[in-house]
């Protein structure tokens, strides 16, 4: 009898607790950041990205529609199941209104499925796979910073047009790497080049020498590195050590400012790469980066700047919609013109891809670099349509032909 | 052109040479693990972390104090060994009487802490360590171009492996060590300070890991994650060689490097699992490992 009444009391108490939590949640704007905080991509987004979101929240006065803005964050450890289950948990229990992040295409694809099921906007930052707004698109996914198509249209086309006609790819063996290689291959072939071979390498490989020798044996002019993070650093470092960079031109299909910083200009000089943001582009980017640097002692990568911009745009959309209702906010986001420190002439296409200017850069030589973090010179400014394509991806089921 | 399995012979020779380089790292790392396990019965999961700390010690030494590579080869392992000895004194020695699993858990935790601290300080992208002046450049072997530094890694590793084997199997000190692990009380009765020996052994094992780290620093990006990706493979190497067998660690380290190199030509996607496939086969066929005592 005693136990029964006790459990009854406990049950009632829990009911009250749950109800009060639900009320609390609807009075808040809850932004979730699900990102790699400890693994190979932790320097491109990671803790710096959280700092960027906090800057955006502070710049918006900490509230939206009079509701407090709360930031939750978790390390997805590059595991799709962790990313998806944390997303689901926050949506069910914490009144989640927006999710950011998802570095690693595999994790982002899993998270976009949850976004569709829970009807919570997901702004993918850090993942490259263009299928996020293609075959895997959802009404709630926005792909914000860059995708594999834009990277290929930037770096690959500039190199092919400069005479790098024959390619060999070293590719990270998962969704991102293979999509990147496919996009780059299309660009190379379309511009009259050819691909002499490729090798798929497991993610997290440290020794690339065998694959580099295969690349060299192929006789190709260009060494296409369809990988990222420490995979990219280790493969480029190996290429320099084996003297391969003397005969082949390395192409970084995805490199971040943090990669160049850790590799040093000595190793990375001359490299072509494509980025959506560079801190030293203009007064606006310098102003944002200066504030960011004051907090982190690093210049922001394109992902970190993208986090700031995405949060600002989302909060603007919430204000415009006068609600945190997902469908209303998504409708506002799709209407907006995005012009801020991160994006120039940006807008969200029907398939969810954020179209904005991209920049093809070349890494400076140590002699050209005049001050700390002075790493890139602009080779080409690509308008959004040139980088991402003019038409929505027909593979996206939302696009009616 | 001569071909083997449809692959040109020079390509195979090139890959085998590179396999030998990787095998040298495996041998050096698994040697340290085997020494620690064979003599102390500790499954040292922090081995990868000590390897990483060795590389970082060299990097920090160069950046902060201008200590060049050759001194780093000596000083970095000593510094990391001191840290290892601290760990042994403060934590590990309380676990000797317990199940080996406790030691495994403790060292795993230490590895996570070490990685976390370095990640906080240096970020995951890590740092570049330059190849020492004397070892820059390449040699043309006919079938491939080999950076001189990689050749140096093979030589250095073989010399250290041979010296360690000789010390443990052929000297009086080694005999005392082995006796102390067989019967600590009896050896203590002869007036030998067993705890000091145990401490020194752990320190030496850790120093081997750190030495491998210094050797690796110019080759790979010095990053907090460099150890965790390697330690699993190295454990597989030790299991294949036979837990605690010095010769087993050296031989299987080198030969698995070669097999891995060969796999990279035939079917590169499998290059990071071939070691584990072999481990499974060996465990079925000889549960104690190739050189282990049943």
pLDDT at B5 over 60: yes
pLDDT at res. A3: 56
The whole-chain average pLDDT of chain B stands at 87
Q: Do A262 and B123 touch (CB under 8 A)?
A: yes
Closest partner residue to B226 (CB to CB) among A38, A201, A206 is A206
Note whether A296 contacts B: Cβ–Cβ < 8 A: no
Q: Is residue B290 part of a domain?
A: no
Nearest chain B Cα distance for residue A189, angstroms: 25
d(CA A144, CA A127): 9
Q: Do B21 and A209 touch (CB under 8 A)?
A: yes
Q: Do B147 and A243 touch (CB under 8 A)?
A: yes
If pLDDT is split at 50, 70 and 90, which confidence band does B277 have? Answer: very high
Residue of chain A whose alpha carbon sits nearest to that of B22: A207
Note whether B219 contacts A: Cβ–Cβ < 8 A: yes
Q: Is residue B294 part of a domain?
A: no
pLDDT at res. A40: 81
Q: Which residues from A are below 8 Å from B226, CB to CB?
A: 206
| Per-residue pLDDT tens over the stretch A8-49 | 555 555 555 554 444 455 688 999 999 999 888 888 999 999
**Residue A293, Cβ density class (10 Å: 0-12 exposed, 13-18 middle, ≥19 buried):** middle
**Nearest CA among A193, A254, A250 for reference residue A216:** A250
Q: Do A202 and B272 touch (CB under 8 A)?
A: yes
pLDDT at res. A60: 92
d(CA A126, CA A40): 12
| Per-residue pLDDT tens over the stretch B191-231 | 888 888 888 989 999 999 999 999 999 988 898 888 887 88
A 10 A CB-CB count for A178 gives: 19
Angle between helices B246-266 and B274-285 (to 10 degrees): 130
Distance of CA A257 to the CA centre of its chain: 13
pLDDT at res. A19: 47
Question: What pTM was computed for the model?
Answer: 0.82
CB A126, CB A45: distance < 8 Å: yes
3-state secondary structure of A328: helix
pLDDT at res. B131: 87
Angle at A377 between CA A306 and CA A44, to 5 degrees: 30
Nearest chain A Cα distance for residue B251, angstroms: 21
Q: Is residue B220 part of a domain?
A: yes
pLDDT at res. A20: 46
Q: Is residue B156 part of a domain?
A: yes
- Which contacts of A67-70 are long-range, i.e. CB under 8 A and separated by 24 or more positions? A67/A27, A67/A28, A67/A29, A67/A324, A68/A27, A68/A28, A68/A29, A69/A28, A69/A29, A69/A31, A69/A315, A70/A28, A70/A29, A70/A30, A70/A31
Report the length, in residues, of chain A. 401
Note whether B149 contacts A: Cβ–Cβ < 8 A: yes
| Per-residue pLDDT tens over the stretch A258-268 | 999 988 898 89
pLDDT at res. B271: 81
Note whether B225 contacts A: Cβ–Cβ < 8 A: yes
Residue B124 sits in a domain whose CATH number is 1.10.3470
pLDDT at res. A23: 46
Interface of B with A in 97-116 (CB under 8 A): 116
Q: Do A211 and B264 touch (CB under 8 A)?
A: yes
Q: Is residue B169 part of a domain?
A: yes
Q: Residue A122 pairs with which residues in a beta bridge?
A: A99, A141
Task: Quote the number of domains for chain B.
Answer: 1
Gyration radius from chain A CA atoms: 22
**Nearest CA among A34, A32, A31, A93 for reference residue A67:** A31
Nearest chain B Cα distance for residue A351, angstroms: 33
**Nearest CA among A198, A162, A195 for reference residue A177:** A198
CB pairs under 8 A between A and B: 104
Q: Is residue B292 part of a domain?
A: no
- Residues 6 or more apart whose CB falls under 8 angstroms from that of A30 comprise A70, A72, A90, A94, A95, A96, A97, A98
If pLDDT is split at 50, 70 and 90, which confidence band does B294 have? Answer: low
Q: Do A40 and B149 touch (CB under 8 A)?
A: no
Q: Do A230 and B147 touch (CB under 8 A)?
A: no
Mean pLDDT of B93-116: 89
Q: Do A234 and B123 touch (CB under 8 A)?
A: no
Q: Which residues from B are below 8 Å from A233, CB to CB?
A: 125-126, 221
Nearest chain A Cα distance for residue B180, angstroms: 39
Interface of A with B in 153-192 (CB under 8 A): 173
**Nearest CA among A201, A230, A207 for reference residue B19:** A207
Residue of chain B whose alpha carbon sits nearest to that of A37: B124
pLDDT at A325 over 80: yes
| Per-residue pLDDT tens over the stretch A52-99 | 999 999 999 999 999 999 999 999 988 999 999 999 999 999 999 999
The whole-chain average pLDDT of chain A stands at 90
Q: Is residue B9 part of a domain?
A: yes
Greater confidence (A12 vs A167) lies with: A167
Mean pLDDT of B150-175: 90
Q: Do A42 and B123 touch (CB under 8 A)?
A: yes
Structure tokens at A300: 């922001």
Phi and psi at residue A323, to the nearest 5°: -165, 160
Q: Do A207 and B219 touch (CB under 8 A)?
A: yes
Mean pLDDT of A129-146: 94
Note whether B121 contacts A: Cβ–Cβ < 8 A: no
Residue-number span of the structural domain to which B101 is assigned: 3-285
If pLDDT is split at 50, 70 and 90, which confidence band does B37 have? Answer: confident
Q: Which residues from B are below 8 Å from A258, CB to CB?
A: 123, 125
If pLDDT is split at 50, 70 and 90, which confidence band does A1 have? Answer: very low
Q: Which residues from B are below 8 Å from A170, CB to CB?
A: none
Closest partner residue to B128 (CB to CB) among A41, A238, A262 is A262
Helix (H) or strand (E) holding A63, with range, is: strand A63-64
Residue of chain B whose alpha carbon sits nearest to that of A268: B128
Q: Is residue B291 part of a domain?
A: no
């Amino acid at each position: 009898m005693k136990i029964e009444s006790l459990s009854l009391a406990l049950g009632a108490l829990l009911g009250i607790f749950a109800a009060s939590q639900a009320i609390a949640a609807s009075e808040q704007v809850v932004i979730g950041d699900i990102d790699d905080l400890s693994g190979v991509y932790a320097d491109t987004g990671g803790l710096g990205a959280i700092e960027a979101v906090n800057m955006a929240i502070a710049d918006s006065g900490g509230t939206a529609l009079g509701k407090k803005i709360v930031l939750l964050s978790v390390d997805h450890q590059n595991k799709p199941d962790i990313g998806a289950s944390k997303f689901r948990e926050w949506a069910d229990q914490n009144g989640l209104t927006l999710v950011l992040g998802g570095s690693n295409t595999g994790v982002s694809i899993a998270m976009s499925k949850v976004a569709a099921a829970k009807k919570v906007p997901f702004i993918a930052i850090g993942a490259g796979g263009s299928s996020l707004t293609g075959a895997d698109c959802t009404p709630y996914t926005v792909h914000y910073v860059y995708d594999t198509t834009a990277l290929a249209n930037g770096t690959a086309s500039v190199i092919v047009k400069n005479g790098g006609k024959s390619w060999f790819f070293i590719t990270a063996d998962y969704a991102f790497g293979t999509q990147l290689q496919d996009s780059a291959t299309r660009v190379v072939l379309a511009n009259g080049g050819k691909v002499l071979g490729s090798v798929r390498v497991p993610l997290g490989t440290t020794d690339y020498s065998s694959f580099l020798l295969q690349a060299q044996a192929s006789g190709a002019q260009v060494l296409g590195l369809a990988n990222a993070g420490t995979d990219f650093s280790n493969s480029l470092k190996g290429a320099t050590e084996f003297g391969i960079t003397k005969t082949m031109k390395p192409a970084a299909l995805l490199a971040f400012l943090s990669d160049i910083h850790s590799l040093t200009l000595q190793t990375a000089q001359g490299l072509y790469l494509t980025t959506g943001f560079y801190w030293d582009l203009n007064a606006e980017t310098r102003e944002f980066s200066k504030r960011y640097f004051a907090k982190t002692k690093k210049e922001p990568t394109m992902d970190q700047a993208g986090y700031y911009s995405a949060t600002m745009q989302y909060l603007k959309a919430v204000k415009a919609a006068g609600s945190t209702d997902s469908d209303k906010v998504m409708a506002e986001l799709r209407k907006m013109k995005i012009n801020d420190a991160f994006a120039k002439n940006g807008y969200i296409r029907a398939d969810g891809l954020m179209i904005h200017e991209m920049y093809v850069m070349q890494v400076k030589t140590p002699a050209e670099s005049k001050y700390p973090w002075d790493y890139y010179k602009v080779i080409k400014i690509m308008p959004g349509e040139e980088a991402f394509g003019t038409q929505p991806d027909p593979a996206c089921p939302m696009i009616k032909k | 052109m001569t071909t083997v399995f449809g692959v040109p012979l020079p390509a195979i020779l090139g890959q085998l040479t590179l396999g030998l380089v990787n095998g040298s790292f495996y041998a050096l790392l698994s040697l340290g693990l085997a020494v620690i396990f064979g003599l102390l019965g500790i499954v040292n999961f922090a081995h990868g972390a000590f390897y990483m700390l060795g590389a970082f010690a060299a990097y920090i030494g160069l950046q902060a104090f201008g200590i060049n590579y050759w001194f780093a080869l000596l000083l970095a392992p000593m510094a990391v060994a001191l840290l290892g000895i601290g760990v042994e004194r403060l934590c590990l020695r309380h676990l000797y009487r317990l199940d080996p699993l406790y030691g495994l858990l403790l060292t795993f935790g230490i590895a996570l802490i070490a990685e976390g601290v370095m990640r906080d300080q240096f970020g995951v992208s890590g740092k570049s360590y330059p190849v020492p002046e004397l070892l820059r450049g390449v040699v043309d072997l006919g079938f491939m171009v080999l950076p001189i530094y990689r050749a140096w890694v093979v030589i250095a590793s073989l010399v250290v492996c041979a010296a360690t084997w000789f010390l443990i199997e052929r000297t009086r000190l080694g005999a005392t060590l082995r006796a102390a692990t067989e019967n600590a009380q009896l050896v203590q009765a002869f007036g030998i300070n067993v705890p000091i020996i145990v401490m020194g052994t752990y320190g030496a094992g850790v120093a081997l890991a750190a030495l491998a780290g210094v050797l690796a620093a110019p080759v790979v990006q010095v990053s907090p994650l460099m150890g965790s990706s390697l330690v699993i493979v190295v454990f597989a190497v030790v299991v294949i060689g036979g837990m605690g067998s010095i010769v087993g660690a050296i031989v299987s380290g080198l030969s698995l490097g070669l097999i891995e190199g060969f796999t990279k030509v035939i079917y590169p996607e499998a290059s990071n699992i071939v070691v584990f496939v072999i481990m499974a086969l060996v465990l079925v066929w000889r549960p104690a490992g190739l050189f282990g005592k049943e």
